[in-house]
Amino acid sequence: MNTQPANNVFTATRELQINKVVRNTYLLLSMNLATSAVAAGVAMTTGAQPMHWLLILAVFIGMPFLINALRNSVWALPLTFLFTGFMGYTLGPILSFYLGLPNGSQIVLSAFATTAALFVGLSAYAMVSRKDFSFMGGFLFVGLIVVLLAIVANLFLEIPALSLTISAASVILMSGMILYDTSRMIHDGEANYVLITVSLFADLYVMFVHLLNLFAAFTGQD
């Protein structure tokens, strides 16, 4: 019995499903990035003060879990925009701080351009190569836990060298996360584009914030 036609139909259906997830993910991600940018602009314009790090951490960790729990409900999309809007608002005071430094505009522009270049390059590599980066999951999870603990510890220790080490490690980890999340869109048949969008947004947010720290240090302003 010739199974070739059936295999061709399955492959075509699979490709259509992948293309739909990819299209929906990047469309939603672009909308969420725009929402975050507007929220950051509002925070900067109104002179918003930095929020307590515990509140930011609670939202940054807790909201994705809530969105995951409600991923198949009508609340998933609104919560996604609420999450990215909140995180954008927290970014406003950070941007105001860096823009207030000498060469602040250059620092912010360099961090933004590097974040964009890394995202496009890593995503394109994962999409074109079609490599499965799921094997990185365990390593990335452990790395995130270690970095998170180091960040909390350095809030009290305030060691500049440790801060730069954390930022460098975070950029590397987020690069791995972008590969991992992009790979999920291609290889995970149960991939939910809302959850991948939230994860990619978090990758970009963390990468951008830590690149700001690194570029400020490189220019001798941090």
Provide the pLDDT for residue 54. Answer: 92
Q: Where do we find the tokens 């009290």? A: 156
Among 173, 171, 178, which Cα is nearest to 214's?
Answer: 171
Structural domain including 8 reads 4-218
Q: Where do we find the tokens 């995503």? A: 123
DSSP 52: P
Provide the pLDDT for residue 178. Answer: 97
Provide the pLDDT for residue 189. Answer: 66
> Average pLDDT of each block of 10 consecutive residues along the chain (222 residues)?
55 74 93 97 96 93 95 94 97 96 94 97 93 92 94 89 95 96 84 92 97 90 58
Provide the pLDDT for residue 3. Answer: 56
pTM for the full model? 0.91
Number of compact structural domains in the chain: 1
**CA of 186: how far to CAs of 18, 56, 73, 144, 198, in Å?**
6, 31, 23, 23, 17
Provide the pLDDT for residue 6. Answer: 52
Provide the pLDDT for residue 167. Answer: 96
Provide the pLDDT for residue 186. Answer: 87
Provide the pLDDT for residue 16. Answer: 77
